[in-house]
Structure formats: C-alpha cells, structure tokens
A = this chain, B = another copy of it.
Amino acid sequence: MSDHDDDGYEMPDREEFQHDPLGHAEVRGGMTVGELVEQYGHAGIGAADVHEAADIYAEMLADDDCTVFMSLAGAMVPTGMRKVVSDLIRDGYVDALVTTGANLTHDAIEAIGGKHHHGAEHHGEKTEREHDETLRDEEVDRIYNVYLPQEHFALFESHLRDEVFPALEAEGTVSIADLCRELGRANSEVNDREGVEEDAGVAAAAYESDVPIYCPAVQDSVLGLQAWMYSQTSSFSLDALADMTPLTDLAYDADTAGCLLVGGGVPKNFTLQTMLVTPGAYDYGVQITMDPAATGGLSGATLDEARSWGKLEKDARNTTVLGDATIMLPLLVAAARERIE
C-alpha cells in the first residue's frame, strides 16, 4: 500500500484522462462567489459545468475582439433578473440582446413604477386550482411564484399609447428592433421624469448604451397584443424580417463571437441560427437551461448538437449549465466579473 498515497494507478493513456484527479470542494463562511466557483472546479456532475461555464464566460468577456450575443428567454425580468441584465448592458458586456416580449413587457411595467410581488411565503407549493380561481377574481396574474396585479397592464397600455407608438406611427412599418429601441427611450425618459428610484431597466439600458434588442416573437406577449391593437386604428405595423439584416451583419463583422444563452426557446435559436447565414460561427458558447437534452427539444439541446449544424465552430469552447436561471445567471455573472474586473 506504499504507493497509493500518490494514487499509484496510472490512468489509461488517452486524451480524456490527461486531467488532474478530482479534488474535494471546500467552502468557508465569507468566501467570494469567485472562490466558490473555483471550488466547483474540483467537483463533478453539475458543479464542474458551472466552473467551466464561468471560465468560458470570463474569457469571452475579457476578449476585446469578441462580439457577445446574449439571449434571455422566458420571464427572467419579472422574476428578478432585470438589474443583472441591465448592468451587464451598461457595463459593455452585451453587444446584442435577443429576448421575449414578456421580458420587455414586465421591464416596462417596472420602469413606469409597477411592482411584481412575491407569492405566498411557501411559494412553489401553492398552485391549486381554487387558488388561481381566487387570483382571477382578485385580478392578480400569476407567474409561478410571482404575482402581478392586472391594473399594471392598463398603465402599461397608456405608456405605450402615449409615449411609444405615436413616434413610430409616423414611420409606418418599422422593425421590431425599432420598437424595442423606442420602448427603451420612453422607459428611460418616463422613469427619469417620474423620479422612479429603481433602475429604468433592460430596454432603457440598451437604448442608452446603443445596444440593439431583437425580439422575434414579439407578437406573443402583452406588448405584441398592444402593438396589434394600435395597428388596427393606425398605419403602424411591424416587419417580421427586417431585424435579420443588422443581426447577421453583426455576426458577419465579428472577429470572434460568443453567446450567453439564458434559457431556451426562440431567443436561443434565433441567436444561434444567425450563424447559418454567416461564414463563421460561435467561438464561445455558454447556456443555462433547465431542460434536459432528452426532451429532444431545442431548449434543452446541447451546444454540441448546435455544432453539427455549424452554429458553433468545431473548436469552440462550450458548455451547458443545467439549472434554474434565476440562480445560475447571478452566480455566473458574479464569478466572471470577479475574474475580469
């Protein structure tokens, strides 16, 4: 037994074994997030993926020649990720954002002073039918464990009709990115004028930082419903295809390209597919998803699958973090910022 204090055993001589042995993660009170993520690097299963993802993301952000595309699916804004994203934009860490109408809707509601609310203390275990019937009577909409009074949607409608749509109407048919920029401008101005203390949000940050927002399925949201209703009585309309030109140009012009994919859905694929009509492909890819690959759906598809389509370079660095984006996004961002700032 004299030799196995240095493990004795020689792993087979194959590339995949040329790694240090697994260590033991060690934690202590007061450690930084970056230190925690370093410890994840000693562990297996998902912890190893978080470590790898933070490493790739930090490298992507530190690479001055890298154009960073960020996709943001689902309902990340009403569930508390708004400032994480707007800070990334303001600090220059996002070159284009692809997102959903839901995120833009709830972002604007907060910008004009509306609030989302935590559900009952034991959120996550309170979903029965009667409960939702009651919420319906009380005019409160539920997004899992987050509640939003429907009244805010009326204020949002006024905001759009007073501050956003009129300026666009003059131009007739506009791109969806134009709508997003105008919404960002209006959010920024109203927030400022009304003295709302909170950050004016994602669209405002993008407007102020001249970062484009793409929202391919905008009609699939309250923002889209409002745009449609406004279009019924005006010459305003939205061109479904126009945004693909500047997005493709951005990918075409990138020296290197990286993507941070937060959740799946349309934002993920729209971000990836632009490489199908561009000679290059992503050099870095990090995704956060709760969908296992075995669903067969795009949301859970590995980035290796994307490689077969030519969306990632063959030698790209990529990894997938399987977990809740409200936990994983702040964790990755804090770790990457600690590394590079």
Contact = CB atoms under 8 A, between A and B. Distances in A.
B25 A83 contact: yes
Q: Chain A binding site: helix, strand, loop or mixed by DSSP?
A: mixed
Given A33-B33, A83-B25, A142 B277 contact: no
A229 B277 contact: yes
A45 B113 contact: no
Nearest to A291: B291
B232 A219 contact: no
Contacts of A25: 80-81, 83-84, 326, 330
Interface size class of A (residues with CB under 8 A): 35 or more
Interface string A68-100: 000001110011111110010000000000000
B231 A241 contact: yes
B297 A225 contact: no
Interface string A88-130: 0000000000000010000000101111111111111111110
B44 A34 contact: no
A205 B79 CA distance: 41
A113 B20 contact: no
B308 A141 contact: yes
A57 interface: no
Contacts of A336: 29
A63 interface: no
Interface in A229-269: 229, 231-232, 237-245, 263, 265-266, 269
Given A113-B1, A334-B31, A9 B118 contact: no
Contacts of A8: 113, 151
25 contacts: A11-B147, A21-B118, A22-B78, A22-B79, A23-B80, A25-B326, A25-B330, A27-B330, A29-B336, A29-B339, A39-B330, A43-B326, A44-B80, A44-B123, A46-B324, A47-B79, A122-B128, A125-B304, A126-B129, A217-B270, A220-B270, A225-B244, A231-B241, A266-B266, A290-B297
Given A4-B114, A25-B83, 9 more contacts: A1-B113, A1-B194, A25-B330, A29-B334, A42-B80, A44-B118, A127-B128, A144-B293, A225-B277
